[in-house]
Structure 1
Amino acid sequence: MTDNGKKIIIFDDDEDILSVCTYVLEEQGWEVHVFTDCNNIIEKVNGIIPDVILMDNWIPDTGGIVATQALKNDAALKHIPVVYFSANSDIQLLAEKAGAEAYIAKPFDLEDMERIISGVITA
């Protein structure tokens, strides 16, 4: 647990991606929370109130677009930046449809991930 208060939630059902992202972000001082589905997403996010959310497109059960839209329609949570990530070639369109602030195409470079996360937080 770090004391700088930077919290991030990663919604992805790919264990490899979760472990790599968690390792890299924890090395940078993030408190990382991971979920392999987006069921009850409002409750999950309300319980943590992260500084940023990484959202996979193909997350069970409803998918990243519906999950992100649910967050953006919640008055208490809509300010939290969402970084959408997917291997889908239409990632930019998907992110826009979802209402995400930014996106990362999979497979992604870890430095790109760090830069994009920093970008949405300082925006």
Structure 2
Amino acid sequence: MLKRVLVLDDNEDILEVVHETLAYEQFEVKSIAESTEVMSLMKSFKPDLVILDYRLAGENGGEICLQIKSHPEFNNVPVIIFSAYINHADEIFAYGCDAVINKPFDLVELIKKVNDLIY
């Protein structure tokens, strides 16, 4: 069975590249641009890993990560946060994420981190 990855980014170009890359690597991918959809998709899609952009309209990826990690059903699901603000990585890790990937990111690094956290 394919491992499931939920990706949230409000930049359509990044969303498409990440979606295509992960699909090519044999993951079942659900890509969304709206942060309001995350928790309902956690319930219906049941991802094995979540990738969140840090900078979003409304709440940031860190706040969404906190919601996932504080939910009894999803607190073991690994979360990766994309951030262009890597010098604030300590602040981002404070949200409880399992990894931070710097933007612009390297697709090889992305695949490695996803595989390390899922398998």
Query: Is the structural similarity TM-score above 0.5?
Result: yes
Range of TM-score over shorter length: over 0.9
Aligned length: 119
Question: Kindly tell me: are residues 75 and 47 of structure 1, through their superposed partners in 2, closer, same or farther at Cα, counting changes over 3 Å?
Answer: same
Superposed CA offset, 1:49-73 (max 9, x none): 1110001101232111111000111
Matched, 1:100 2:102: no
1:17 to 14, 23, 27: 14
User: How far, CA to CA, are the matches of 2:12 and 2:75 in structure 1?
Assistant: 27
1:72 equivalent in alignment to 2:69: yes
Matched, 1:81 2:75: no
List structure 1 runs of 4+ shifted beyond 2 angstroms: none
* Cα deviation 1:71-107 (Å, max 9, x = unaligned): 1110001110001111113342233121101110000
Which residue matches 1:115?
A: 112
- Output the amino acid matched with 2:53: D
User: Structure 1-normalised TM-score?
Assistant: 0.90
CA shift in 2, pair 1:91/1:16, >3 Å? farther
Provide, for residues 20-77 of structure 1, a one-character-per-residue CA deviation record: whole Å limited to 9, x for no partner.
Answer: 1111111111111011121153212111111100011012321111110001110001
* Distance across 1 between alignment mates of 2:85 and 2:111: 20
- Structure 2 segments unaligned to the other structure (5+ residues): none
Q: 1:52 maps to what in 2?
A: 49
Gap runs ≥5 in structure 1: none
> Structure 2: how far apart are the matches of 1:74 and 1:58?
22
The one-letter code matched in structure 1 to 2:112 is R
TM-score, scaled relative to structure 2: 0.93
The CA RMSD measured in Å over matched residues stands at: 1.3
